[in-house]
Amino acid sequence: CEQLNSWLGGFESILKRMTQGNFNWFIHTMLFYHTQYVIQKQEEAQIRGARRAERRNNDDEDYTDEDEDEL
């Protein structure tokens, strides 16, 4: 919410000149786009995390008892 408020601050000069109806439409539209952006970034981060976990699991499978003897 704070990020959205900060982001909208960049549009302050535009918002001050709007009618109430235009202001409400603009705020709701920007909130929608901002929410979609945040959800997309969260999904991308989740996919990256899953890929990292998969690579770690694959690395663990490559580790054998023979490797342990060398230590």
Decide if 29 contacts 51 (C-beta within 8 A).
no
Domain residue ranges of the chain, discontinuous segments joined by +: 2-65
Q: Specify the pLDDT at position 9.
A: 84
d(CA 52, CA 47) in angstroms, rounded, equals 9
Decide if 26 contacts 18 (C-beta within 8 A).
yes
Decide if 34 contacts 7 (C-beta within 8 A).
yes
Q: Specify the pLDDT at position 12.
A: 86
Q: Tell me the residue type at 41.
A: K
Q: Tell me the residue type at 70.
A: E
Q: pTM for this structure?
A: 0.59
- The dihedral built from the CA positions of residue 10, 6, 48 and 35, taken in this order, carries a sign that is negative
Question: How would you write the pLDDT of the chain (71 residues) with one tens digit per residue?
Answer: 787 788 788 888 888 999 999 999 998 998 899 899 999 999 999 999 988 888 888 776 665 555 555 55
